[in-house]
Each structure stands twice: as structure tokens, then as C-alpha cells.
Amino acid sequence: MGGAHVVIRPRVFGPEAEDLIQEHLLTNYTGLYASQDYLTKFGVPEKPEDLDHHQLIAYGNHIEAEPYKAMNWHLIMGTEEGNRREAYIQVNSPQARFSMAKDGLGIICLSKEHPGLGESGLIQVLPHIPIPSVESFYIYSKELAKSKKVIALRDYMQKAFNRDFGKNNENMKIL
């Protein structure tokens, strides 16, 4: 875990997972979003193949890596087997991708629970396409299983995620 005591991320698999406790926190349901300015300039995609003609903002350099592939599904959905679209921009920060989309730079894949999405003016595109979800886990070393700080943070995070995530966003426009 790179020196961190706790991480929140998709599940870890393989040999490194043997010494970890992984507790499910939430399911991130994703969607594709763009600003009205972007859609006016470039058009509204009606099917996944239409994404070939759009500026796609991707999640970092994890384009092919599990478990991040679900955040970049828009690079492969509707392409021929083994092909993928080139990202217009790649960035690791969800907040940076969110800001870029608000500024009209392209289409992003973003959690429907992203803070501020409903008030952002972003419009969901291709809402009729089934989109992968991303499971997030609270992960820590088995050595820390009795740590009061780790347990207190876990309990707080579980309560916060249960309170704040998964609510329907009534302010969001859908195309």
C-alpha cells in the first residue's frame, strides 16, 4: 500500500491482497457527462460509436488496468474488439476531470454521486447505455485490525458514505 495505513480504492487482488483487510464502502455508479457548451459545439452522441468523434477525458494512465478500466469504459464501448479510442486528456484527479468537463473540454466518465454534480450544469449523455460500476473498499493491513484509529476512521467513513452517497440527484439534466 505504498506506506499508507489505509486506502480507499477498488479491491486489491493477487498476492498483495493476502495481508489486507478489505471492507466494502460503496458502489460508484458512473455516467458520461459534458457541458452544454461542449455539446452545442460538438453535438450530442446518440450511440457509443458516436464517441469516436468526441473529446474524451480519461482517468489517468490506467486506461487498460483493472480495476480502473470501468472509469475509462467510454474509450472502448462501441469499438471493434481489441481497439480503443485515444483520450483527448488523461488525468488522475476526479476533481480535475470534473472541472475540465464543466469548462467544456470534453466528455468524462464520473461517479453519479460526485459532490456538486447536480449543481454543476453538466448533462448526462448516453444515459440509456449500461455503464459499469466501481466498487470502493476501505483497505488496511491485517496488522492494524485492532487499531482504534483505523477502526474509528472506518466507522466514520461507513456512516459518511451511507449518509452522503447513493441519493438520486434531482437537479441533474439527462439527455
Per the prediction, the chain carries an average pLDDT of 86
Write out the E strands in 55-132: 56-59, 89-91, 107-111, 123-125
* Residue 173 scores a pLDDT above 60: no
CATH code assigned to 6-166? 3.40.190.290
% of residues, the chain, pLDDT over 90: 51
Question: DSSP characters for 2-52?
Answer: TT-SEEEESPP-SGGGGGEEEEEEEEEEEEEEE-HHHHHHH----SGGGGG
85-113 pLDDT, tens digit per residue, is 999 999 988 899 999 999 999 999 988 87
* Sign of torsion over alpha carbons 6, 97, 130, 67: negative
Q: What is the model's pTM?
A: 0.77
pLDDT for the residue numbered 40? 98
Going by pLDDT thresholds of 50, 70 and 90, the confidence category of residue 166 is very low
pLDDT of residue 101: 98
Q: Where are the domains positioned within the chain? A: 6-166
Average pLDDT score over residue span 119-133: 92
